[in-house]
């Protein structure tokens, strides 16, 4: 996991960090990752220092709650999936965010490509670094479970890297 620490860009503002999680429609993968990462950050005492937002590259679902199957998967695992409302990624965010984590290569292309501050969420996956998070939308419940497992383990790695970056034990 020491590799994850070196991947994190420095914060634009000392003592604060802003992350966007991005998928296609902002109703499955990025909201699941948002809920899990926010919980991990809260547990680590970083909630006041790290801001997380999720969004989609498309506008089809703006204002809608997350997919029922994604919400059910999160709820069954003990997370609160009720607050999410889909929004669309804005390129202007690139100037204010410390890190943009996209779920797959198409999302990466949609936000303008890889840079120091834009990368795949899966680059922090401790089990399969660099893996894309598969879109479960057209599949069954197993796909949502797979996404949850990926975002849980990756959120642990991201949180640990942020703790080191922010000098928090």
Catalytic residues: 23, 29, 135
The pair of three-digit structure tokens given for residue 122, joined into one six-digit string: 């899966």
Q: Which residue has the tokens 């709650």?
A: 65
By CB atoms closer than 10 A (0-12, 13-18, 19+), residue 17 is buried
CB atoms within 10 A of CB 50: 26
Question: Angle between the 29-43 and 68-76 helix axes, to the nearest 10 degrees?
Answer: 30
């Amino acid at each position: 996991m020491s590799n994850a620490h070196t991947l994190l860009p420095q914060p634009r503002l000392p003592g604060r960090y802003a992350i966007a999680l991005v998928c296609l429609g902002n109703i499955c993968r990025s909201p699941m990752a948002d809920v899990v990462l926010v919980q991990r950050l809260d547990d680590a005492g970083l909630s006041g220092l790290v801001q997380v937002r999720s969004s989609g590259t498309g506008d089809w679902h703006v204002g809608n709650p997350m997919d029922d199957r994604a919400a059910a998967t999160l709820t069954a695992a003990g997370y609160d999936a009720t607050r999410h409302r889909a929004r669309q990624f804005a390129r202007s965010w690139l100037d204010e965010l410390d890190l943009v984590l996209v779920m797959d290569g198409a999302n990466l292309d949609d936000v303008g490509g890889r840079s120091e501050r834009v990368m795949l969420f899966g680059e922090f996956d401790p089990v399969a670094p660099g893996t894309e998070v598969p879109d479960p939308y057209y599949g069954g419940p197993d796909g949502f479970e797979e996404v949850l497992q990926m975002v849980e383990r990756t959120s642990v790695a991201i949180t640990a890297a942020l703790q080191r970056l922010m000098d928090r034990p």
